Chain A
Amino acid sequence: MPLSTQSQADIDQYILIASLDNARNLSNILKAISFKDHAIFNATQNGLKVTVEDSKCLQANAFIQADIFQEYTIKEDAVGFQVNLTVLLDCLTIFGASTTPGVCTALRMCYNGYGYPLTLFLEEGGVVTVCKINTQEPEEPIDFDFCSTNVTNKVILQSDSLKEAFSELDMTSEVLQITMSPSHPYFRLSTFGNSGNAHYDYPKDSDMMELFQCTKLQTNRYKISLLKPSTKALALSCKVSVRTDSRGFLSLQYLVRNDDGQICFVEYYCCPDEEVGEE
């Protein structure tokens, strides 16, 4: 069923329609948060926010602004539903994850409202696939209450410099310890594994450091297993902002540039490990 042959009546029923010329612009950014099956979709006039959570300790949000889509129509103030993210990603890449230049999958994503499936029309080279994914009752995402006024320390780094560190992380360590301080060691990532410990120090005047705003020494530990999924977002991103608030909560914001040069954001929140590291 070509996209154009949908009857007007069908289209009228939809409360959300979002179209993309290149489905990769959506699938890539969803991959950056795909570490659990359930994804909570929240659509507003501004765009789409997709949330994935783990163990009530980690939350990842992907923001896809309305203007990323070639068409974005929403008939209500807010539309919320939950789908299986793995299934959605499988559907979005149903024509294969080909990266051949000039060949891309077009997407039209429609939602009829509560109780209806999420319908995807995918087209590549004249072939159309229609996928209907059952939606679930949307859960309320955890409010990490991370607000910028409570931020104690913040650094913005070029992602390349962190990619290396994260790819080399000693996974035998249970935690990743992040130290941020106005004086030495400024910004330090530490692991404590079977073979010993490792510290990665980033000086505040490094070329890789775009912004350095640390007001007081803070050392927090985060479960490395929780942070591991964030490397998917890191891999896609060009810049990352690392913030901690007064409670030691961690916010990682990734600036992701898509195939068309547009900018989207992915954000991870993580609770600190209870055993507070030595200060």
Chain B
Amino acid sequence: MDCVATGGNVKVLAKAIHSLSRIGEELYLEPVEDGLALRSVNSSRSAFACFLLSPLFFQKYQAPSDQSFRCKIPIKSVQAVFKSLSSLDRSVEKCRIQLNSEKSRLTITLHCKHGLLKTHNLSFQDCESLQAVFDKESCANVLQAQPRLMVDTVLHFPPSQEEVTLSVSSDRVWLRNHVEDDADPRAMMTELSLSSEEFDHFAISTQTSITFCLKELRGLLVFAESSGLPISVYFDEPGSPVILSVMDSVLEANFVLATLSEDSHPKNHGKSNTKHPDTEQPPDDFMNDDMDSFLIAMETSELPGPSHAPTSPPHPTNNRKHPASEEEQEEALAEGPPNKKFCSLFFGSVLPTQSQLTNQTIQSQEVLASDSEDENQAETS
């Protein structure tokens, strides 16, 4: 692999990496024919982000001869390369990303003003392809807005605000902070109402209301604002993932975020757990791990054919639908448990049996498929 980005595109690349760093701990890098794919997924697998930088984005783009190459790198170390955005703007003229397969190093070289050459040889791990299953085109509702509108809207929510609820009618959009029922009754509610005229594109076919995390949206906004590209929001009913998308001729960014489903009300969580006494919680983080693989609709490069995973926005079992996945089981072991809120959402869901828990992902997926058929029964029992 050998890619060279020049001028302003170096900053775009840096911004993309900073955006991805809001999602997960690791950067998945995969050079393909269509361009360089940079992806990340959060530890609870409820958010996935992908930037595809087309070959035209680069001054030179050469995918590796070995098409199957892909790797993951701690995102912090890549971020360190592009640490100072301001100095990047001022001083970096060219950025080259090369793969040194002999030394197993990814080399990022920054050619700066005054002849200064910064070479970073980053160690990486081989990994499987990371790809979320989503289909923007099938979403019933689409909104498109200039980044400014979104930034100004999100600005009204305090940084500590974790989730927002987006409601749409045929001519308006409301955004309000999501407050759980058991939260402090004195909690402040903030709601903003936007007219359809404020949007570049406004196509709502069903009146609905979805709740998703702000953190990732903020991450994408940073990118969209700096590149001045409009943001599109694709979504269906609560529980299906929302897809935030930014596109221009040489790049595409998709952020796929889980949304809260209507019946995943926090107060039900305790009951849900007691309702399924056969699903004892394993004493360690392994469960989170296996839960993830169970919860998630997967598409992997190595698993065969379309038989095992739904290809359209899936209708899996659970309260919260999880857009992204990865087949490496050990992956999440190193990470801490997902944050509390997500955790509680997981536990509210139907757990697989012990035997299923220990199974590998392929089997988990079968479970996923079968469970999704009797979703309603499971939820209402």
Interface residues of A (CB under 8 A from B): 161, 164-165, 167-168, 170, 193-203, 205-208
Contacts and interface: CB of A to CB of B under 8 A. Distances in A.
B303 to A, nearest CB: 31
Interface in B311-357: none
Given A194-B77, A196-B77, A198-B121, A167 B116 contact: no
A240 to B, nearest CB: 15
B87 interface: yes
Given A167-B84, A168-B80, A168-B84, A196 B116 contact: no
A269 to B, nearest CB: 26
A206 B115 contact: yes
B123 A196 contact: yes
A57 to B, nearest CB: 27
A60 to B, nearest CB: 26
10 contacts: A168-B84, A194-B74, A194-B77, A195-B80, A195-B122, A196-B123, A198-B81, A201-B117, A202-B116, A205-B115
A164 B123 contact: no
A168 B77 CA distance: 11
Contacts of B121: 196-199
Interface in B100-132: 105-106, 114-123
B120 A198 contact: yes
A195 B123 contact: yes
B73 A195 contact: yes
B117 A200 contact: yes
Contacts of A200: 116-119
B91 interface: yes
A165 B122 CA distance: 17
A79 to B, nearest CB: 44
Contacts of B60: none
Given A168-B83, A207-B114, A195 B119 contact: no
Contacts of A196: 77, 105-106, 120-123
B76 interface: yes
A206 B77 CA distance: 28
A199 B118 CA distance: 6
Given A194-B77, A195-B77, A201 B119 contact: yes
Contacts of A167: 83-84
Contacts of B120: 196-198
A168 B85 CA distance: 12
A203 B77 contact: no
Contacts of B83: 167-168
Interface residues of B, number: 22
A170 B79 CA distance: 11
B87 A164 contact: yes
Nearest 7 Cβ contacts at the A-B interface:
A195-B77, A196-B122, A203-B115, A201-B117, A206-B115, A199-B119, A206-B114
A198 B118 CA distance: 7
A97 B2 CA distance: 50
A170 B106 CA distance: 16
A236 B297 CA distance: 55
Interface of B: 73-74, 76-77, 80-81, 83-84, 87, 91, 105-106, 114-123
Contacts of B76: 195
A263 B120 CA distance: 36
A203 B113 CA distance: 11
A21 B77 CA distance: 47
Contacts of B77: 193-196
Given A198-B119, A199-B119, A207-B115, 10 more contacts: A164-B116, A168-B118, A196-B123, A197-B121, A198-B81, A198-B118, A199-B121, A203-B115, A203-B117, A207-B114
A194 to B, nearest CB: 7
B109 to A, nearest CB: 9
Contacts of A202: 114-116
Contacts of B117: 199-201, 203
A208 B122 contact: no
Contacts of B73: 195
Contacts of B123: 195-196
A167 B120 CA distance: 15
A161 B116 CA distance: 8
A208 B118 contact: no
Contacts of A205: 115
A164 B88 CA distance: 10
A104 B74 CA distance: 47
Nearest to B122: A196
A196 B123 CA distance: 5
Contact of B116 (A194, A195, A198, A208): A208
Nearest to A205: B115
Contacts of B87: 164
Contacts of A170: 80
Contacts of A201: 116-119
A205 B114 CA distance: 9
A164 B91 contact: yes
Given A164-B84, A168-B84, A195 B74 contact: yes
A206 B116 contact: yes
A103 to B, nearest CB: 30
Contacts of B106: 196
Nearest to A199: B119
A206 B73 CA distance: 33
The CB with the most chain B CB atoms within 10 A, among A165, A197, A205, is that of: A197
Contacts of B114: 161, 202, 206-208
A187 to B, nearest CB: 10
